[in-house]
A and B are shown apart, each in its own frame.
Chain A
Amino acid sequence: MRAKDHPAMRRYVRRFVPITVGYMASIALATFIIADNAPANALTIGLALLPGLAVLGWLWAMARLLVELDDEYLRMLEVRKMLVATGLTLAITSVWGLLELYSPEVPAMPVFFVFPMWCVGLAVGQLVNRFGFGDPGDCG
């Protein structure tokens, strides 16, 4: 069995794709309906939270992957990617936060960027698996 043919991997992709479509659709909807500088009300808050549900869905899908992946080596590769992503995200946001605190010229980093940054960290983790340990894994 190839890694990408593992049932847990296939379930992960089947979950990931519709969640991603939902995220993109909800972002488009919120951008289309909510005008710039619109006052906060129940509608704008509700629309803003919709993409947040998709982000929670991604996190759930990744958690299920780790639970359902019964191949310990493939699971180790995925966990290593997530650890690299977490380390990078903590490093960047923590150092940037200190710069914001003590250097008023440094622009505030929107918290929105934390999750995309973590996802970029997953790609870095895959590179670490490939070049540091000679195995990229197949989870993307």
Chain B
Amino acid sequence: MKNRLKVLRAERDWTQGDLADALGISRQSINAIETGKYDPSLPLAFRIADLFALPIEAIFMRD
């Protein structure tokens, strides 16, 4: 699954650490999601979408 997390984060001038803290997860997890090594669960994807105030499909796309 592809995602626009890195772009959205950069638009807001957030570091991976900032995003991790906002979501209450590790920076390692953010890195794994951004680089496509890990697809988040649906609950975590919803939390990410809520944080960016975007629908899930605006952040995560099919390969």
Write the residues of chain A forming the contact surface with B, with a CB cutoff of 8 angstroms: 1-3, 6, 70-74, 76, 133-135, 137-138
Contact = CB atoms under 8 A, between A and B. Distances in A.
B28 to A, nearest CB: 5
B25 interface: yes
A71 B32 contact: no
Interface stretch (B3-11, B38-46, B50-58): B38-46
Pick the most buried of A6, A71, A134: most chain B CB atoms within 10 A of its CB: A71
Contacts of B28: 2-3, 73-74, 135, 137-138
For chain B, the bracket of interface size reads 10 to 19
Interface of B: 17, 20-21, 24-29, 32-33, 35, 37-38, 40-41, 44
A73 B38 contact: yes
Contacts of B26: 1-3, 6, 71, 73-74
Given A1-B20, A135-B32, A135-B37, A73 B25 contact: yes
A76 B24 CA distance: 17
Pick the most buried of B24, B25, B40: most chain A CB atoms within 10 A of its CB: B25
A1 B17 CA distance: 7
A6 B26 CA distance: 8
Contacts of A73: 25-26, 28-29, 32-33, 38, 40
A133 to B, nearest CB: 6
